[in-house]
Amino acid sequence: SFCTLLAASDSSTMRELVPTKPYDCAPFQGGKVRGLFIGINYTNSEAELKGCVNDVRTMLATLQRIGFPLQEALILVDDPAYPGCAGPPTRRNIENGMRWLSAGCSAGDTLFLHYSGHGSQRRNRDGTEADGFDETMVPLDYQEAGQIVDDDVYNMVVRPLPAGVRLTAVMDCCHSGTLMDLPYEFVATRDNMEQYAGARNSGFTEGNKNHSPADVMLFSGCADDQTSADVTGGNFKTPGNHPGASGGACTGALAEVFTTTSGLTFVDLLLGLRQSLHKRGYKQLPQLSATKPIDLTRVFSLFGPLAAVDNFQPPPGAQFNHGGQPAPPPGPPPPMAGGGYPSPPP
């Protein structure tokens, strides 16, 4: 069954990961609607964060508020008391969760992936990254099991999806701009975001050849060379948590924009995210990447195909946010996201 997968628990025994139905929703007449939600606080470790489990709570409450008809969800958090938690967010569990998310999909299915935790980089060994680094997810047991690189995320989540499947992902972690290795990235900066966002040639550029027939898009907390804020008292207008609760700034901003506005174009959504973050003093700029160069003048939706621009041409002088630069000289990998923490094993 695609609803159960074997995974390792904290005690290294084998047990099933069982999805849950996190909230009641109206019947959906389309295909399957499935979600994977991962929140890692790294409790009682030197890499501890405060708001990542809260981010899962916020995102699920946001989806419920906007009427997203989630039929089954796999929830992996390092809080065993969390309602519906399927298990701890170990590397094995996360990888099995990603395989579960993409397994057995067909045209008309709708998927959602949310990750909140540490992100990092490690030196790329096969020459496939223009900046010389792979972006990584940092599982709870990263010190023993290692990290999950962007190539593997793509191969487990995106590559298996056939045409007609829609996947929306949110990665609220550092160095997350290209964490799914999708081929097109919106290349706006703080200075030219409105100019590019308003241009129908899209402001996207092509950064790799990982083309997929599925419709996949990723909101990421920041560009590959930025860090993402884990904040206390951010005061975002979000459902699911009490005011001032800890949480990732990207998740908070996205939840606020989703639940306080409607009928947004992609342009409106990106500008709304930027404004929500900047009015609270956060410098990070959320990124958007996809399997198509999206026409940002279209109304945003979590369902259906992504409308691509006609006769796509990248903006003059644009370059992929994590590319276009020579690989750095050999040396130690950068520190783990969040600052002040030891680097995960390479």
**pLDDT greater at residue 95 or residue 233:** 95
Least confident interval from 54-63, 87-96, 249-258, 335-344: 335-344
Please pick, among 174, 175, 222, 322, the residue that the annotation labels catalytic: 174
**pLDDT greater at residue 7 or residue 74:** 74
Q: Examine residue 81 and state whether it is found in any structural domain, yes or no.
A: yes
**What confidence tier does 123 reach under pLDDT thresholds 50, 70, 90?**
low
Q: Examine residue 322 and state whether it is found in any structural domain, yes or no.
A: no
Q: Examine residue 190 and state whether it is found in any structural domain, yes or no.
A: yes
The yes-or-no answer on residue 105 being catalytic is: no
Mean pLDDT of 225-249: 61
Helices 52-65 and 249-260, interaxial angle, to 10°? 10
The yes-or-no answer on residue 114 being catalytic is: no
**Percentage of residues of the chain with pLDDT beyond 90:** 44
Q: How many domains does the chain have?
A: 1
| pTM for the full predicted model | 0.84
12 has pLDDT over 50:
no
Residue 325 in tokens: 């630069």
Give the model confidence (pLDDT) of 245-280 as tens digits. 788 888 999 999 999 988 998 888 888 888 888 888
In whole angstroms, give the CA distance from residue 4 to residue 23: 19
Q: What is the CATH number of the domain that holds 54?
A: 3.40.50.12660
Closest by CA to 184, choosing from 317, 326, 321, is 321
Q: Examine residue 310 and state whether it is found in any structural domain, yes or no.
A: no
**pLDDT greater at residue 222 or residue 301:** 301
Q: Examine residue 276 and state whether it is found in any structural domain, yes or no.
A: yes
Please pick, among 52, 105, 118, 250, the residue that the annotation labels catalytic: 118
Q: Examine residue 344 and state whether it is found in any structural domain, yes or no.
A: no
Q: What is the mean pLDDT of the chain?
A: 79
**pLDDT greater at residue 15 or residue 30:** 30
pLDDT the model gives residue 335:
43
Q: Examine residue 264 and state whether it is found in any structural domain, yes or no.
A: yes
Write the CA distances from 136 to 27, 93, 153, 173, 240, integer angstroms. Answer: 36, 16, 9, 10, 28
Mean pLDDT of 43-50: 92
Q: Print the domain residue range for 239.
A: 5-290
CB neighbour class for 262 (10 Å; exposed up to 12, middle 13-18, buried from 19): exposed
Q: Examine residue 326 and state whether it is found in any structural domain, yes or no.
A: no
